[in-house]
């Protein structure tokens, strides 16, 4: 049975799920919701699925997943283990970073583009997190590794990519992140790569 993704095209976390599904070649049944301004995610039926009032939600049989790392993991593992290395600790570190330390990037973007809250603090936090990621990729590059958790693309790269690719939307330019520019360019070349509104499709 095809897993069902409750999806909003402009939501960054929904994009993360579509991106991973596209790269591993797993078909998803997309249920399109209008979050803004429709608030489709706040209907009783949706709140029963996810009381946390946010997307994405993935339903696969009896399984209901609302946490992005768990959804990404599930999607990737349904289609073989290509994006999940045998020793997954380093990947988990950066997958957690994407969902934790970098969550402020989504907050900064929503504040800048939708006027949801003050963008100053989340923007500074997101810039600091991107700087840490850039420092990491500098060292990875010296070790000859092109991706965040080694020399092959993993779930973590795909989870991290949108925050960097969309950072200009919340006023953080790519100028200072030379190592991330090279890495993002590499991520874009993976077969099955897709974009979302706000990420130009030119490479």
Partner 1 sequence: MTPDIWLPLALTTAIETGTSAGTAIDGTEIAVWRDVAGRVHTWEDRCPHRGMKLSFGFVRGDHIACLYHGWQYDAAGQCRYIPAHPDLEVPKSICVKTWPVAEAGGMVWVWLGAGALVPAPDLPQAVALRSLYLDCPLSRVVALLEGGSPLGGAAQVDGAVARVGALVIGLQSVAPGRSALHITVAGAPTEAELTTLTHKAEALRRVAERVEAAA
- Rounded to 5 degrees, what are φ and ψ at 55? -105, 165
Contacts 24+ apart (CB under 8 A), 150-154: 150/85, 150/90, 152/85, 153/23, 153/83, 153/186, 153/187, 153/190, 154/83, 154/84, 154/85, 154/91
203 counts as binding partner 1 under rule CB under 8 A: yes
- Selected from 49, 79, 179, 190, the binder of partner 1 by CB under 8 A is 179
For the chain, the residue count is 203
Question: Rounded CA gap, 100 and 167, in Å?
Answer: 16
151 counts as binding partner 1 under rule CB under 8 A: no
Q: Which H/E stretch holds residue 60?
A: strand 57-60
In the shown chain, the binding pattern of residues 153 to 172 toward partner 1, with x for contact by CB under 8 A and - for none, equals ---------------x----
Strand order in the sheet with 29-32: 29-32, 4-7, 57-60, 63-65
- Selected from 42, 52, 178, 194, the binder of partner 1 by CB under 8 A is 178
| 53 vs 203, beta carbon nearer partner 1 | 203
143 counts as binding partner 1 under rule CB under 8 A: yes
Query: What's the min distance (Å) between Cβ of 70 and partner 1?
Result: 33
Find the part of the chain contacting partner 1 (CB under 8 A) among 26-34, 46-54, 100-108, 173-181.
Answer: 173-181
53 counts as binding partner 1 under rule CB under 8 A: no
64 counts as binding partner 1 under rule CB under 8 A: no
* CB neighbourhood size of 30 (10 A): 16
Query: What's the min distance (Å) between Cβ of 203 and partner 1?
Result: 7
Q: Which residues of 82-110 are buried (b: 16+ CB within 10 A; e: fewer)?
A: ebbbeebebbbebbebbbebbbbbbbbbb
- Selected from 27, 63, 118, 139, the binder of partner 1 by CB under 8 A is 139
- Selected from 81, 182, 192, 194, the binder of partner 1 by CB under 8 A is 182
Find the part of the chain contacting partner 1 (CB under 8 A) among 32-40, 43-51, 105-113, 132-140.
Answer: 132-140
| Four-residue CA torsion sign, 122, 184, 148, 14 | positive
Query: What's the min distance (Å) between Cβ of 143 and partner 1?
Result: 6
* Binding positions for partner 1, rule: CB under 8 A: 135, 138-139, 142-144, 168, 173-176, 178-179, 181-182, 185, 200, 202-203
């Amino acid at each position: 049975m095809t897993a069902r993704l409750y999806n909003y095209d402009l939501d960054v976390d929904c994009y993360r799920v579509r991106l991973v599904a596209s790269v591993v070649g797993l078909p998803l049944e997309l249920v399109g919701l209008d979050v803004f301004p429709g608030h489709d995610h706040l209907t009783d039926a949706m709140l029963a699925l996810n009381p946390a009032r946010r997307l994405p939600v993935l339903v696969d049989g009896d399984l209901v997943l609302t946490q992005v790392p768990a959804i990404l993991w599930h999607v990737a593992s349904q289609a073989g283990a290509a994006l999940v290395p045998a020793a997954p600790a380093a990947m988990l570190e950066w997958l957690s970073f994407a969902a934790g330390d970098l969550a402020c990037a989504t907050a900064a973007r929503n504040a800048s583009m939708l006027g949801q809250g003050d963008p100053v603090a989340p923007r500074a936090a997101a810039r600091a997190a991107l700087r840490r990621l850039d420092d990491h990729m500098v060292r990875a590059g010296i070790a000859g590794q092109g991706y965040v958790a080694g020399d092959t693309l993993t779930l973590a790269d795909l989870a991290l990519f949108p925050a960097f690719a969309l950072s200009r939307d919340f006023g953080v330019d790519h100028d200072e992140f030379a190592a991330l520019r090279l890495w993002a360019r590499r991520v874009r070349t993976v077969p099955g790569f897709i974009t979302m509104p706000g990420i130009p499709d030119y490479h």
